[in-house]
Amino acid sequence: MKFCLLRPFFLCLLVISSFAGYSQNLQPGFQPKEYLQLLSAVERFRDSTNYQYSTPAPEGMELKFRSEPVPLENSWQFWLRNDNVGIISIRGTTSKGISWLENFYCAMIPAIGSLQINDSTKFEYRLAADTNALVHAGWTLGLAFIAPGVLETIKSNYQQGVKEFIIFGHSQGGALAFLLTSYLYYLKGTAIPSDIVLKSYCSAAPKPGNLYYAYDFDFITRDGWGLHVVNALDWVPESPMSIQTLSDMNKTSPLNHIDRIFSRQKLFEKIYLKHAFGSMDESTKKASKKFQKYLGNDVFKLIHKTLPQLKEPEYGPSMNYMSAGTPIILQPYPGYREQFADSTGRNFFLHHHIKAYYELTRHHYDVK
């Protein structure tokens, strides 16, 4: 009888002790040593027999899995740190044409929707809560191929006690890291447990979507859980090109009610202002439509040769690309331009390579 009365008390102690035994290892904000280890890990996608590594071998972490390349050449690795933190490391652009087409396929599609990959496979995704959010079509297609494997790896490792995960990518891999982070966040509590901790480093990443996607990403990773690391001399984070039209702005903007404002002006001023403003507005709309055609419909036809059953999605009426994530800016230090000098003037990726990011981080954060 006494044991029965004491049993709830012992159960409470057991629960409390189990929580007390769990200590979170991932911390928010930019951790220089953590980032350098991630750069070292992602460089290991390269074949060491044909490539000289610019970073030392990653320490305190073990490569557990490397995926085979998917149809658009994306690939990812799973590393496990000694402190039981899992790392999803996503490869960047390769030399193959289809990998570059994924980058150029930059018409925007809704951040909530589906992609019909073939007759039997549909990829359902939710990358934002805001229905105004739009994302890069090519990288969302890349996400469609890697997401199932990543999801299974996270679930199986969670069963082994791994509850904290870093999502990392450099270059194109960084763009996919944005989208994968959003994808996993909106699956928490359904497809994956709600107590999983996610932290993202999107290194040298281009812009993943429109302003409303950027707002959403920054909100769900607020307080230092979603980082965008940029070399100030790297052009890749400046891409894709962005065009803002009136339709990209919030409906409450007075610019969407410009006729009402102009109506208060004198007749000739009103005629001139309406003509000038209308001309500027029309030019941005035309430019946006051209981008959608060339970088949407036309590039899709080329990708369709590799994925003949892929159904072309409907594109959003925007090319207003924006950066996302907490910015970690790496400015050139004295002597950097001499160390990373391009005598030919044609090494367009000199400041984009892992070595440049590695050396900038070491210098600015005094990491030996």
Dihedral, 73, 237, 114, 213 alpha carbons, nearest 10? 160
Look at residue 285 in the predicted model and tell me its pLDDT. Answer: 85
Beta 121-126 vs 112-118: how paired, if at all?
Answer: antiparallel
3-state secondary structure of 271: helix
Look at residue 12 in the predicted model and tell me its pLDDT. Answer: 46
Look at residue 258 in the predicted model and tell me its pLDDT. Answer: 62
Q: Flag whether pLDDT at 20 surpasses 70.
A: no
Distance in angstroms (rounded) separating the CA atoms of residues 328 and 40: 18
Q: For Cα atoms 169, 170, 174, give the angle at the middle one, nearest 5 degrees.
A: 55
Q: How confident is the model at residue 220 (pLDDT cuts 50, 70, 90)?
A: very high
Token representation of residue 112: 């909530």
pLDDT digits (tens, 9 = 90+) for 159-175: 999 999 999 999 999 99
Look at residue 30 in the predicted model and tell me its pLDDT. Answer: 98
The superfamily (CATH) of domain 29-364 is Alpha/Beta hydrolase fold, catalytic domain (3.40.50.1820)
Mean per-residue pLDDT of the chain: 90
Question: Cα–Cα distances in Å, from 94 out to 73, 256, 299?
Answer: 7, 43, 18
Token look-up 């469609």 returns 144
Token look-up 């003949």 returns 308
Q: Flag whether pLDDT at 329 surpasses 50.
A: yes
pLDDT digits (tens, 9 = 90+) for 173-186: 999 999 999 999 99
pLDDT digits (tens, 9 = 90+) for 84-127: 999 999 999 999 999 999 999 999 999 999 999 999 999 999 99
> Cα–chain-centroid distance for residue 249?
23
Look at residue 257 in the predicted model and tell me its pLDDT. Answer: 59
Look at residue 247 in the predicted model and tell me its pLDDT. Answer: 83
Look at residue 41 in the predicted model and tell me its pLDDT. Answer: 96
Q: Do 319 and 105 meet the contact criterion of CB atoms below 8 Å apart?
A: no
3-state secondary structure of 76: strand
Name the residue among 253, 221, 250 with its Cα closest to residue 326: 221
Look at residue 264 in the predicted model and tell me its pLDDT. Answer: 65
> Cα–chain-centroid distance for residue 192?
20
Q: Flag whether pLDDT at 147 surpasses 90.
A: yes
Share of the chain above pLDDT 90, in %: 76
Look at residue 28 in the predicted model and tell me its pLDDT. Answer: 97
237: number of Cβ within 10 Å? 23
**Global pTM?**
0.89
Instruction: Report which of residues 326 and 265 the model is more confident about.
Output: 326
Look at residue 281 in the predicted model and tell me its pLDDT. Answer: 75
Look at residue 282 in the predicted model and tell me its pLDDT. Answer: 82
Amino acid identity for residue 199 in this structure = K
Q: How confident is the model at residue 252 (pLDDT cuts 50, 70, 90)?
A: confident
Token representation of residue 242: 């962005």
Stretch 204-233: mean pLDDT = 98
pLDDT digits (tens, 9 = 90+) for 299-325: 999 999 999 999 999 999 999 999 999
Name the residue among 223, 240, 221, 261 with its Cα closest to residue 319: 240
Look at residue 212 in the predicted model and tell me its pLDDT. Answer: 97
Token representation of residue 139: 């990288």
Instruction: Report which of residues 268 and 358 the model is more confident about.
Output: 358
Q: Do 203 and 38 meet the contact criterion of CB atoms below 8 Å apart?
A: yes
